[in-house]
Amino acid sequence: MRVVVLSVLNVLGQGVSNMVYNIYGSEDGIDSDIAIFLETLPSIEECKILCKDYEKISINEKKTNVNLVCLHDGVLINSFKGSFDEVNNSIFYTYNLHKQEYPIQIEKALKRNIELKVARFLRETCSILSRTKYRDMMKAALKNDSLYKLKELQKVILSDIDNFNKNNLTNADCLKGLAFQIIQIDDLLHGKEIYTKREAKELYPKLTKYLYRECDKATKELDVHFHFLLNILLNTFDLASLKE
């Protein structure tokens, strides 16, 4: 892992003296989430190339899911994938669940930006659904604000979807992502933070089959959780003003 990372960083001129990575997230996942710490993030295209190169490497016999992050004074200030506050806290709270090569780089948890999490959830859900029978609705929603996105999502019946048609994701992957996001936001609204599937299944046992990719088609049960959350968001936030 180190040899490959150093060579790529040299190409980008990032320097190698302080290169470290931390593994984070669920301890029982089918892949390993890895945060590689850089001084600055390169361009989006360069980040994509870096992540693709790193993800060819397995460090613990699992598929590698790489994120690129920037650190300042012991906390994250930037993250290529996901909001930096969420990634920061995920590393902080789950570092000890994994065998690590490097010391933890995060010194403290950050206050979560719930509004940002909600805005991203709505956008990412529309994106996940953008190749389903709801394609036209979701394409329009992605061009509009969070309130518009939510109102369009309220028309979606997840259990009516036979195939998400995502080239790089299976149906089970898509449903796992949706279920985990629903759980995370619901708990954030109650002042809690969840970063592992083990925690999620303990609090939401009825969604366990989605969390562990044991189901490739949604049931009415997931629809109930999904629409219940959408109604809460509609009545809790000024969605038209939410910014990512």
The two three-digit tokens of residue 104, written as one number: 């933890």
Tokens 């998400």 belong to: 164
* Euclidean distance between CA atoms 113 and 87, whole angstroms: 12
**Phi and psi angles of residue 76, each rounded to the nearest 5 degrees, phi first:** -75, 145
For the cut 60, the answer to whether the pLDDT of residue 20 exceeds it is yes
pLDDT in tens, 49-87: 989 888 877 677 788 899 999 999 999 999 999 999 999
Counted residue by residue, the chain has a size of 244
Task: Find, among 75, 95, 115, the residue nearest to 243 by Cα.
Answer: 115
The two three-digit tokens of residue 211, written as one number: 């969390």
Q: In this predicted structure, what is the pLDDT of residue 62?
A: 83
Task: Find, among 77, 53, 66, the residue nearest to 24 by Cα.
Answer: 66
Strand partners, 72: 75
State the CB neighbour count (10 A cutoff) for residue 90.
25
Q: In this predicted structure, what is the pLDDT of residue 40?
A: 92
Q: In this predicted structure, what is the pLDDT of residue 63?
A: 85
For the cut 50, the answer to whether the pLDDT of residue 239 exceeds it is yes
Q: What is the mean pLDDT of residues 130-135?
A: 97
Task: Find, among 168, 174, 112, 173, the residue nearest to 138 by Cα.
Answer: 174
Q: In this predicted structure, what is the pLDDT of residue 19?
A: 66
What confidence category does residue 210 fall into, taking pLDDT thresholds of 50, 70 and 90?
very high
> Which amino acid is it at 181?
Q
Q: What is the mean pLDDT of residues 11-22?
A: 56
pLDDT in tens, 24-53: 999 988 889 999 999 999 999 999 998 988
- Please enumerate in sequence order all residues whose Cβ is within 8 A of that of 21, keeping only pairs 6 or more positions apart, or say none: 1, 5, 34, 35, 36, 37, 101, 102
pLDDT in tens, 213-232: 999 999 999 999 999 999 99
For the cut 60, the answer to whether the pLDDT of residue 14 exceeds it is no
pLDDT in tens, 172-190: 999 999 999 999 999 999 9
What confidence category does residue 10 fall into, taking pLDDT thresholds of 50, 70 and 90?
very low
pLDDT in tens, 83-121: 999 999 999 999 999 999 999 999 999 999 999 999 999
